[in-house]
């Protein structure tokens, strides 16, 4: 299973059951995909600054 976080969304590649499990995992942390994307981009910006 692969998860690609792009500028405006998420691309998931894998079997259907894998994608469903990954979405269930992230629904506890994020209400919307947009929140997930923003959080990932904030983390990468923080790493670049250091």
**Which range marks the domain in which residue 8 is found?**
2-49
Instruction: Report the domain count for the chain.
Output: 1
Residue at token pair 């981009």: 41
Q: What is the pLDDT of residues 1-50, one digit of tens each?
A: 998 888 777 899 999 999 999 989 888 888 888 888 888 878 765 555 44
DSSP 37-50: HHHHHHHHHHHHH-
**What is the value of pTM for the model shown?**
0.64
Distance from C-alpha of 13 to C-alpha of 18, rounded to nearest angstrom: 9
């Amino acid at each position: 299973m692969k998860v690609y976080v792009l500028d405006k969304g998420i691309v998931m590649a894998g079997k259907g059951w894998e994608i469903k499990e990954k979405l269930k995992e992230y629904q506890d942390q994020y209400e919307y995909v947009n929140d997930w994307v923003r959080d990932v981009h904030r983390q990468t910006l923080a790493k670049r600054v250091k």
